[in-house]
Amino acid sequence: MISLAFYGLTALLFAAALLVILSKNPMSSVLWMVVAFFAITGHYVLLNAQFLVVVNLVVYAGAIMVLFIYTVMLLNLSKDSEPRRSLLVRLAGIASGGLLLTVLVGALRRSQEAATGDLAQVGATSLVGLVKPLGLVLFRDFLLPFELSSALFLAALVGAVALGKKEAGD
Amino acid sequence: MGGITLDHYIYLSVALFAVGVTGVLIRRNILVMIMGIELMLNAVNLLLAATSAYRGDGEGQVFVFFIMLVAAAEIAVGLAIITMIYRNTGSIDVKDYNRLKG
């Protein structure tokens, strides 16, 4: 049952990811990206990482993709305004991506003796992904990075507003 | 089919990362290139979460949380920059973005 859900979510994730990078219209890329994020959220459900499920839905599928959709609509993009790379460059890019995949898989295959435990069992029974244990780790061991990230967010907010507002001369 | 092991998640993440790299390489639309970068970040997040659940240690999932925070800040600033450049050049083609040299 769990492996059926795993393979279904994986197929959905790869179909959506390939459609993100291959579709001509930027708006369909963004919408397929939302599908890909939902598939990743499904993987977090399988790992029993409940905190990450909520955060992934709110931050990625919610906030970030809304920003993308607003930008695509604001810039008035369509299939006609889509810049294209030449066929040679696209073939070279696909070959480079495939070679990267081959190298990484080949390197990993040689170092894979140890990790053969049943993660499905571990994931379904592991309690580290619940909100309470993660909150204890976050606010006890990672309090300073957490506060620093709030300062980073304030800086990003101010920077986005400063970049986005029209200058007086426009 | 057998159980789902850590190997499955490792190969899934590697393949998703390769899809993201390919997307950055074959597209010239800056928005789709940023989406390829997001795919790579999510591949890493998934691997960190899987390793964290596998080892029963919550720190990996806290790290995923921080990666998501930094990605959100990155997207906010990046999309603001893209909007500003589009207003000045009328293009989302990375070929026209070489005037960022100052």
Please write the tens of the pLDDT for every residue from A113-164. Answer: 555 555 555 555 667 778 888 888 889 989 999 999 999 999 999 998 888 7
Predicted structure pTM score: 0.89
State whether residue A139 sits within 8 Å of chain B by CB. no
Over residues A89-110, the mean pLDDT reads: 90
Do residues A107 and B32 make contact, with C-beta atoms less than 8 angstroms apart?
Answer: no
Residue B27, classed as helix, strand or coil, is: coil
Query: Degrees (nearest 5) of the Cα angle A23, A24, A27?
Result: 80
Within-domain flag for B101:
no
pLDDT of residue B88: 82
Residue contact B17–A104, C-beta within 8 A? yes
pLDDT of residue A133: 86
pLDDT of residue B89: 82
Number of compact structural domains in chain B: 1
Within-domain flag for B76:
yes
Within-domain flag for B33:
yes
Residue contact A105–B6, C-beta within 8 A? no
- Show the tokens assigned to A4: 């059926």
User: pLDDT below 50 — which residues of chain B?
Assistant: 1
pLDDT of residue A121: 57
pLDDT of residue A82: 75
Chain B residues touching A82 at Cβ < 8 A: 29
Residue A87 clears pLDDT 80, i.e. is over it: yes
Q: How far is CA B34 from the centre of its chain?
A: 7
Residue A140, classed as helix, strand or coil, is: helix
Please write the tens of the pLDDT for every residue from A28-71. Answer: 999 999 999 999 999 999 888 889 999 999 988 888 999 999 98
Within-domain flag for B81:
yes
Q: Residue B61: give its domain's CATH number.
A: 1.10.287.3510
Within-domain flag for B98:
no
User: How far apart are the C-alpha atoms of A73 and A83, rounded to whole Å?
Assistant: 17
Q: How many CA atoms lie within 13 A of A155 on its CB side?
A: 9
> Would you put residue A131 in left (φ > 0), alpha (ψ -120 to 50) or beta?
alpha
Query: Degrees (nearest 5) of the Cα angle B95, A164, B27?
Result: 25
State whether residue A78 sits within 8 Å of chain B by CB. no
pLDDT of residue A122: 54
Within-domain flag for B102:
no
User: How far apart are the C-alpha atoms of A72 and B54, rounded to whole Å?
Assistant: 39
User: How far apart are the C-alpha atoms of A170 and A56, rounded to whole Å?
Assistant: 38
Which 97-136 residues of chain A touch chain B by CB within 8 A?
A: 97-98, 100-101, 104-105, 108, 112, 115-123, 126, 128-129, 133-134
ipTM computed for the complex: 0.90
Domain that holds residue B17: 6-93
Do residues B84 and B100 make contact, with C-beta atoms less than 8 angstroms apart?
Answer: no
State whether residue A38 sits within 8 Å of chain B by CB. no
Within-domain flag for B1:
no
Do residues B37 and A36 make contact, with C-beta atoms less than 8 angstroms apart?
Answer: no
